Amino acid sequence: MTKRREQVTIVSIGHVDHGKSTLIGRLLADTNSLPEGKLEAIKAYCEKNAKVFEYAFLLDALKEEQAQGITIDAARCFFKTDKRDYLIIDAPGHFEFVKNMITGASRADASIIVIDAKEGIRENTKRHGYLLSILGIANVCVAVNKMDLVNYEEKIFRSLQEEYTGFLSSVGITEVSFIPISARNGENIVHRSENLRWFSGRTLLEEIEQWKLEDESPKKDFRLFVQDVYKFTEGQDERRIIAGTIDYGEIHVGDRVVFSPSGKKSHIETIEIFPHSLERAYAGQSIGLTISDNFYYVSPGELLSKEGEKEPYVSKRFLAHVFWIENAPLLVNKPYQAKIGTQNVVLRITNIQKVIDSTDPQNITNKDKLERYDIGVCVIENTKPVVFDAGKDFKKTARFVIINEYHISGCGIILEPLEDKFVSLEEEIAKREKLWEKGYISKEKREKRNQHQGKFVLLTGQNSKKIQHIAKLLEKKLFELSKNVYFLSLNSIAIGLDQDLSFVETNQRYEEIRRLGELAHILTDAGLIFISYLSYIEKHEWEILKLLNTPYEILTIGIGIAPLPESDFYTLCYPEKIGDEEILKGIINTLADKEVITLEYYL
């Protein structure tokens, strides 16, 4: 069996002009990782244009970078040693580009922090260190660069080492190595420096080669976020290929896997990696999977684990460290789009337990918002159940980024799950019930006048035409029985009340459901029998409707294949082929049995 090659992602960070790009360029050149002739071509270009060659030019592939003379985006490059394959990400050091650093660091296994020996530690150097702590990146090496500019003086190196070790320790990074280097001269990168003979430690390459990776053990429980699902039709190929990158552990053909948060289970039928099929795959590999239950609809964003191993958490709420970088503050209860693995979710901070200064961890304050570069310990609630791990167990599947109006505005790591409930929604409903301004007509008087109770009747099923038809027939039948009844579809709400949601993509479905629930509450409170239908509904959406309709109950009718697996949600269930009249009879008799309406005769 071929021995697996380890794959390591390193993010290189540090303040602007401290020499990250030069360090990486030197690392590529000295490990012979550059395409043949590239180094010579760039040197020739510099000579032709009377420009002093720098190793940083090797990374300046972007035209805009060359025009501005600064690195403006995260550059990615690869190099190999006998032991491992490395992806190294050069994250810009400008304050304005911390978000790019987050993008790189969110998937990193390790980090090299670069500090200019002459300029010393800057505020951004501290923020970068704190960010590594938040994201749980364990392997950290500090390269003290430009030692040639300080005459290779040991006392300068030791002074920076002492100062920055103290800061990193205060934010929880205790396992860290320091190496004095000169990236420009190639000293202590791959080759030892004659000018730094007082340093007896490893070179930078020796240091990163000995790093132990969190996911390198095949005994680590399996984790793979579904990136996408592909279906090939050529040659009557009916397979659905589930694509993603393994974050932890390994998988074998025949293993039984669990998809979360859906809870679906199946066996691995094949493991595909172009152009071959494999019997097993392991952490770091990007693969395609087919499963034995090919009829399953699997969504991007599901997290695969193996049955019998520790399963990830599925919850609407969790406690997390959040690092905020946007000019506009992060506000409590404002909805934000977020990405956890490949999941796109909508979250809101419901409580900020404390706020920490990213350059001074001892400076802790109590604020009701996070301002730029603040770090908060926050309670976060999502509009639907999400899948994740706790950072102490699996760091990669516990990290997340927060997106505000299409821009990365913050990041964080999940500390622990919290009780799985819509706390903020329950609080809103409690407030609504307490402050609702009621008229002089009581519920009992309305029922006496109407001669029936108010009720929300919800029909669900995959055949939208059929349930729409039944819902309208039900309204007609009850109207003929002299009941105050009203039918309203989600489509009608969309072209009226929900028109302003057209551009609020991050929270649209949640807001549609929330408004339907509020409408249902108002109309049933007014004494009407309110009828609507949803061809597709998930459990958490039904729970939102149930909460919003408080104190009234929902009469839920499932027709055809029930989209909700829990039969408890349904008052009545009917197979799709059953006749319309029989369904109507069942619903009306149930309304009578529950004393919502009275009938002079049963149908």
Distance of alpha carbon 160 from alpha carbon 154, whole angstroms: 10
Question: Which residue has 């009780």 as its token pair?
Answer: 419
Distance of CA 518 to the CA centre of its chain: 29
CA-wise closest residue to 224 among 206, 184, 251? 251
DSSP assigned state of 569:
G
CA proximity to 352, closest of 328, 327, 381, 316: 381
Tell me, what DSSP letter sits at residue 59? Answer: G
Q: How far is CA 176 from CA 94, 137, 140, 144, in A?
A: 24, 11, 5, 13
**SS3 track for 201-242:** CCCHHHHHHCCCCCCCCCCCCCEEEEEEEEECCHHHCCCEEE
C-alpha 391/C-alpha 409 separation (Å) is: 20
C-alpha dihedral sign at 374, 378, 382, 387: positive
User: What residues does 486 pair with on adjacent strands?
Assistant: 530
535 annotated active-site = yes
* Pairing assessment for the beta strands 455-460 and 343-357 based on DSSP bridges: unpaired
CB 434 within 8 A of CB 350: no
Task: Evaluate whether 99 touches 19 at the Cβ level (below 8 Å).
Answer: no
Residues in CB range of 109: below 8 A, 6 or more apart: 8, 9, 10, 137, 139, 211, 213, 214, 215
Length of the chain, in residues: 603
Distance separating alpha carbons of residues 161 and 142, to the nearest angstrom: 9
The one catalytic residue among 170, 299, 489, 535: 535
Question: Sheet containing 455-460: which strands, arranged edge to edge?
Answer: 485-487, 529-534, 455-460, 554-559, 572-574
- Write out the catalytic residue numbers: 535
